[in-house]
Structure 1
Amino acid sequence: MCGIVGCILKDNDEDVAPILFDCISKLEYRGYDSIGLATYDGNIHVKKDKGKIDEVNQKLDLPNMPGDFGIAHVRWATHGDPSKLNSHPQLDEENTIAVVHNGIIENNTKIKADLIAEGHTFKSDTDTEVIPHLIQKFMDEGFDLEHAVRKTIEILEGAYAIAAISSREPDKIVATRKDSPLIIGLGEDGYYLASDSPAILKYAKDIIYPEKGEIIILDKSGVVVHDEFDNPINKEVDTINWTPEMAEKEGYDHFMIKEINEQATAVRNTLTQRDNIQKIIDDLDDVSRVCFVACGTSYHASLTGKYLLESLAGIPTDVILASEFKYSAKTLKEDTLVIFISQSGETADSLKALDVANQTSKTLGIVNVAGSSITRRAQYVIQTQAGPEIGVAATKTYVSQLTAIYMFSALMAENEELLDELDKVPDFIDEVLMDVESIKSMSKRYNYAKDFFYLGRGYVYPTALEGALKLKEISYIHGEGYAAGELKHGPLALIDEGIPVVIVIPPGESHKKTMSNLEEVKSRGAHILAFGADNDYELKNKSEDVFCINSEVSEIISPLVYIVPLQLLSYYVTIGKGFDPDKPRNLAKCVTVE
């Protein structure tokens, strides 16, 4: 889970380092324990160190490097602690080859042992360092850079996106990928590669999406792609419709709060996909079972989908964590629809599961990033319209996923009433965002907490899970979400004096029983933070803190609205504790390793 960038400029008189630094800074959400650049002007120059981008730049002045082509990397450590030696780019022994890599080389231990036996000396603890050593070995045997890379990937096992430069073969960047994201940008002033589009939006809108095993050569004259059999191929060029400004903070303190405030727009934009979703449904044969496959926040969106499809359309629905999918794969049939939900479309566990599902069942991807791997592998695709999301903790992509799931479920069930209700959701979200001061005030009273509990029933049980996840992701407070009825089956033993318990309690059928659960925790000394309807006076009387939401928000659409104040609560608790919500420790935006 790292980010890589490469650029070769058409103009020999311009230095590439400022552009590399600008591009790689846009990928810090993919990793932020180290950064490094390598450029070429007759020799390979490298600057790298552990730390966040700004910290390392203050020490090393990263944009001040000579050369008109190069590569860059931000790291989220998998092999080897964050350190200068373990930072990328990684080099061969002679400092003639520099490589950046996103992914994991699973057989690196054996490769390293074989190379040491041949006389190679290693400096780092990374799995990546075997790559430049292998390239060096094959170039010593007479292969050019492109074919040395090709020989190298024949040996590598695992997932990777790789970019390499060599002083033996200047004015060229060679790249390839397998199960890790990589895009190629065609700009007016040069040619680019990156792990994700926000890195190069400012410089290139025309994009090529390489497939597994393809070799990409960037030089000053253009981009050439060879297939796995070494044949040149013509790749389709797509145009990114995101603007560079969409990937900037635009005056907000953090990307997370900016993206929370963009959620009404994200819902409005995703609602425009109705005709596309209807076409997918019309094309599907009889579906007797639906299986959602997802991870993390997308898993919680999928749980809501289970409630919707079973209650509205009567279709048996399962939700499986992508990392556990292989244990259920034999239950898939031809009439099973497997729905893969992923913000990035590059989640490693989900991609492995998708390849399995495609062998037996119909597959549908709900994805935010156009051209990503899931969009290219799934039989059907619903493109959410959240725009680029930079904050590691998903917010607007979550409500966009929910919106797509709601439309799919309503159209499957031919439920026009729900479709009409969905049109009101953006206005309800805007109403919540107008009352931010209430959440700010509430958050200040709970910075002390070491534990939070979140309770919900029915449609808002997954909302409680997602609220707890947001809190622990960015504030590092232990948060647990539970179905409210499960309290008496164990979790009630954990409730003690002063523990904050968040109750998600919209009006509707589940309200009365959830109020009983509120009484259970209140009688044991818990502090109640309730999120309910503005006309729920009983709730107001029994809670220490209440955030009021328009009573017209019905129980069925409440997950789309009630999640917003829970996101805000997590954000402001985190700010109060002095942490950066955009860069939670140990986490990165796109999980491209299993």
Structure 2
Amino acid sequence: MCGIVGVVGQVEAAPRLLEALRRLEYRGYDSAGIATLVNGHVERRRAEGKLGNLAEVLEHDPLPGTIGIGHTRWATHGAPTTRNAHPHGTTRVSIVHNGIIENHAELRAELEAEGAEFETETDTETFARLVDHRLALGESPEIAFSGALKRVHGAFALAAVFAGHPRKLLAARQGAPLAIGYGEGEMFVGSDALALAPLTRRIAYLDEGDWAVVSDTDAQVYDANDAPVQRAVKTTAFSGAAIGKGNYRHFMEKELHEHPAVIGDTLRQYVDPATRAVSRPALPFDPATLPRLWLSGCGSAFIVCQTARYWFETIARLPCDADVASELRYRDPPMTGGGAAMFVSQSGETADNLAAMKLLRTGGQSIVSVVNVPESTMSRESDATLMTVAGPEISVASTKAFTAQLSVMACLALNFARARGAIDAEEEARLTTALLEVPEHAARLLDASAEIEALAEDIKGARDVLYLGRGSMFPIALEGALKLKELSYIHAEGYAAGEMKHGPIALIDDSVPVISLCPSGPLFEKTASNLQEAAARGGRIIAFTDEDGAQALRRFASRVVVLPKVDPFVAPILHAIPVQMLAYHVAVLKGTDVDQPRNLAKAVTVE
């Protein structure tokens, strides 16, 4: 979603703001802008589209000044045009905003009744006009900003500069993340530590309801009641050098090739390779007596939850619910006393996750987050945090974070199973060994990607694609379909193989590729039977399987991609990689924006 940066320093702000905004591109956006103070007056430059367009504007019309704010906008209120691009404001104040102000229409009507003239359709301008109205009455920037905050409802992060105040930047957060960066003779604000990584690694995160006055030497933070508070300054793990494409064409290509290392690094956090036992992380509950577990996330993280549900129920014999967070937050389900919930997210900032977390905590559930960013809001608001070790993931489409999340959940399922007496030490060691072998298998897959590149040629012209899987491979079919549609804009659906006869079979003809995740194992024969039914109706069967499964499938499949043979327990982790690779190669062939697909955002920080 939208990204915010700000700087108060001794050198020109615009180039540093532009660089910081580049590090927020992964969040998704459709316009961008920067505002600085020039001789005490607010000036701004804005552009529709990518940051390259804003850079061209700045090259032809430079923006001096040592204090400024910047923004990448993902359109909510108002079309993605230069006119609606941030910053917004008046001659007295300029503001950037991430999130939604829910009562903006009511406030706008009130301000218009008092003579305010609006220039845009955005909710952000309403906040700017509200601050400006108070400034016109003679209030200081601090009083005007704090007073305006008390009038607005919603989830947002804000940063503002004020005419005549070249050493003062104000910032606030309510339901959306915002960090303050500490430098030497300069200070920063940003939506996340990644944006500030080239500028500083000393970060303080604002708590819910906080607002701050940031100068070039320090920051004074206030809580929602305007009482001065202290927020801990920490050294973030991100560095400016950690983010780059290297020799790869796209961030997604680079991140696909990081699967083996990421899976291995994540497993090393939880598995003792000598004993083949999974160490139990510090949790706010005892897995042995846990009555029920909730699993929730959004997008690919929800697909991780669906996969993990199979593991927790079949291996650990633990009753489980897997819910998409945007529905869970409104479902008001009955809750079992002493239960627990795990929320999965790459960024740890997804608004729907945070809202669902609050709902389940109110219902007496212990809250655990599985995240990739230790400083994230989800991590800070959980009873316990389980880290993935994926490193920065810049491509909007999740790849390595997905397999890292699966790896964490697989480890937890084994640990819970042992604690609950569902498996013995010998079975734990066998399944742990299968897990530890996945990175090597993943590396072999990546080294033999030519077959998947060739397969992409067959897929790129399709209008519809059907993905099928059974058991724990069903969620991986969903992941394959999700990646293909979001990257290549080809319509794709993932289905449980047994459900094909209950509707999707009507779509099948010789123009519809049917992609199956079909490793050998207990469910192979039933899945193969479903594929034969599709082939009999002219479907072009493309099967991802192992050598044992390939022998049976070659009789009727038009293409068979042979993967390493692994235990069915870990097959979902391994099969996720080629379906992501396929989506990538199809998108490259179609010429779409692989790293930043249209209309999508990396961290969805608004509802």
Q: After alignment, is 320-329 or 292-301 more displaced?
A: 320-329
Alignment-derived partner of residue 209 in structure 1: 205
In the TM superposition, residue 579 of structure 1 has moved relative to its aligned partner by 0.5
CA contact (8 A) 2:45 2:54 kept: no
| C-alpha separation in 2, matches of 1:174 and 1:262 | 39
1:323 equivalent among 320, 323, 326: 326
Q: Is the 8 A contact 1:17 1:63 kept in 2?
A: no
Displacement of 1:510 = 0.8
Q: How does 1:166-181 map to 2 (within 5 A)?
A: 166-181=162-177
Cα distance, 1:283–1:317 mapped onto 2, change above 3 Å: closer
Distance 1:524 1:504 in 2: 19
Instruction: Name the Cα RMSD after superposition.
Output: 1.6
Equivalent residue for 1:218, pick from 214, 220, 223: 214
Letter of the 1:510 partner, please give it.
L
2:468 is the alignment partner of 1:442: no
The corresponding residue for 1:265 is 261
AA paired with 2:117? T
Look up the match of 1:373.
377
Look up the match of 1:288: 291
Could you tell me which residue of structure 1 aligns to residue 113 of structure 2?
117
Does the 8 A contact of 2:407 with 2:573 survive in 1? yes
**8 Å Cα contact 1:256-1:393 kept in structure 2:** yes
Task: Return the alpha-carbon distance in structure 1 between the equivalents of residues 225 and 121 of structure 2.
Answer: 33
What letter is aligned with 2:230?
A: N
Q: For 2:246, give the aligned amino acid.
A: E
Give the structure 2 partner of residue 7 of structure 1: 7
1:48 alignment counterpart:
46
- Equivalent residues in 2 for 1:79-478 (5 A)? 79-92=77-90, 95-188=91-184, 190-274=186-270, 278-281=280-283, 283-284=285-286, 286-359=289-362, 360-414=364-418, 415-478=428-491
Write out per-residue CA displacement over residues 358-413 of structure 1, whole angstroms, 9 at most, x where no aligned residue. 12111111111111111011111101111111111111111111111111111101
Query: Where does residue 77 of structure 1 map in the other structure?
Result: 75
SS at match of 1:165: strand
- How has the CA–CA distance of structure 1 residues 85 and 411 changed in structure 2, closer, same or farther, with 3 Å as cutoff? same
Secondary structure in structure 2 of the residue aligned to 1:133: helix
Paired residue for 2:573, among 560, 564, 567? Answer: 560
1:234 maps to amino acid: Q
Displacement of 1:255: 0.9
SS state at 1:487 partner: helix
Shift of 1:526: 1.1
Partner of 1:26: 23
Deviation (angstroms), 1:22 = 0.4
The alignment partner of 2:310 has SS state of: helix
- Measured at CA, do residues 489 and 212 of structure 1 come closer, stay the same or move farther in structure 2, by a change above 3 Å? same
Residues 182-211 of structure 1: CA deviation (Å, up to 9, x unaligned): 111112352111112221111111111101
Helix, strand or coil for the counterpart of 2:124?
coil
Quote the offset at 1:29 in angstroms. 2.1
Cα drift, residue 38 of structure 1:
0.4
Q: Provide closer, same or farther for how the CA distance between residues 396 and 34 of structure 1 changes in structure 2, counting only shifts above 3 A.
A: same
Within 2, Cα distance between the matches of 1:421 and 1:245? Answer: 34
**Once the 2 structures are TM-superposed, how far is the Cα of residue 574 of structure 1 from its aligned partner?**
0.6
Deviations 1:137-177 (A, max 9, x none): 22223332122111111111111100000013331110000
User: Structure 1 CA distance, aligned partners of 2:217 and 2:56?
Assistant: 35
The TM-score normalised by the length of structure 1 is: 0.96
Alpha carbons of structure 1 residues 62 and 338: separation in structure 2 relative to 1, 3 Å: farther
**In 2, are the aligned partners of 1:188 and 1:204 still within 8 Å (CA)?**
no
Please state how far the C-alpha of 1:586 moved relative to its aligned partner. 1.0
Instruction: After superposition, give the CA deviation of every residue in 1:285-338 in whole Å (9 maximum; x if it has no partner).
Output: 621111111111111000011100000111111111111114443411222111
Give yes or no for the alignment of 1:538 onto 2:552.
yes
Deviation at 1:235, TM superposition (A): 1.4
Q: What is the one-letter code of the residue matched to 1:305?
A: A
Aligned to 2:561: 547
SS at match of 1:192: strand
Does the 8 A contact of 1:30 with 1:75 survive in 2?
A: no
Q: Residue type matched to 1:279 in 2? A: P
> Structure 2: how far apart are the matches of 1:402 and 1:456?
17
What residue identity is the alignment partner of 1:354? M
Letter in 2 for 1:18: P
What one-letter code is carried by the residue in structure 2 that aligns with 1:341? V
Preserved CA contact (<8 Å) 1:343 1:369: yes
The answer (yes or no) to whether the contact 2:465–2:491 under 8 Å persists in 1 is yes
Q: Is the 8 A contact 2:284 2:384 kept in 1?
A: no
Change (3 A) 1:228 1:282: closer
What amino acid is aligned across from residue 15 of structure 2 in structure 1?
P
Cα distance in 1 for partners of 2:57, 2:547 equals 53
Q: Aligned pair in 2 of structure 1 residues 454, 464: CA closer, same or farther (>3 Å)?
A: same
Cα distance in 1 for residues equivalent to 2:134 and 2:267: 53
3-state SS of 2:150 partner: helix
Residue 494 of structure 1 corresponds to which residue in structure 2?
Answer: 507
Alpha-carbon distance in 2 for matches of 1:284, 1:277: 14
Query: What is the rounded CA distance, in whole Å, between the counterparts of 2:247 and 2:192 in structure 1?
Result: 23
Change (3 A) 1:290 1:340: same
Shift of residue 121, structure 1, vs aligned partner: 0.6
SS of 2:459's partner is coil
Label 1:143 to 1:62 Cα distance change in 2 as closer, same or farther (>3 A).
farther
Task: Give per-residue Cα distances to partners, 1:530-585, cap 9 Å, x unaligned.
Answer: 1110343222343222221112x121101111111100100010111111111111
CA distance in 2, matches of 1:215, 1:282: 31
Q: Is the 8 A contact 2:184 2:217 kept in 1?
A: no
Give per-residue Cα distances to partners, 1:345-368, cap 9 Å, x unaligned. 111111111111112111111111
Q: Quick one: structure 1 residues 193 and 39, their matched pair in 2 at CA, closer, same or farther if it must change by over 3 Å?
A: same
**Counterparts in 2 of 1:62 and 1:430: CA distance versus 1, 3 Å:** farther
The one-letter code sitting in structure 2 at the alignment partner of 1:480 is: E
One-letter amino acid of the counterpart of residue 384, structure 2: Y
Q: Secondary structure at the match of 1:104?
A: strand
8 Å CA contact 1:146–1:215 kept in 2: the answer is: no
> C-alpha distance in 1, partners of 2:48/2:263?
39
Matched position secondary structure for 1:37: strand
Opposite residue 497 of structure 2, the aligned amino acid is A
Q: What is the rounded CA distance, in whole Å, between the counterparts of 2:283 and 2:30 in structure 1?
A: 44
SS at match of 1:45: strand
Deviation larger for 356-365 or 188-197: 188-197
Give secondary structure in 1 for the equivalent of 2:187.
strand
CA contact (8 A) 2:45 2:57 kept: no
* Cα separation, 2, equivalents of 1:385 and 1:204: 22
Q: Report the count of equivalent residues.
A: 588
Distance of 1:251 and 1:196 partners within structure 2 = 26
Q: Which runs of 5+ in 2 are unaligned?
A: 272-277, 419-427
Decide whether the 8 Å contact of 1:358 with 1:378 is kept in 2.
Answer: no
Do residues 512 (structure 1) and 508 (structure 2) align?
no
Range with bigger deviation, 121-130 or 138-147: 138-147
Q: Equivalent residue of 2:484, what SS? A: helix
Q: Provide closer, same or farther for how the CA distance between residues 72 and 327 of structure 1 changes in structure 2, counting only shifts above 3 A.
A: closer
Name stretches of at least 5 consecutive residues in structure 1 with no aligned partner. none
Q: Deviations over 1:437-479 (max 9, x none)?
A: 1111110122110000000111111000001000001111000
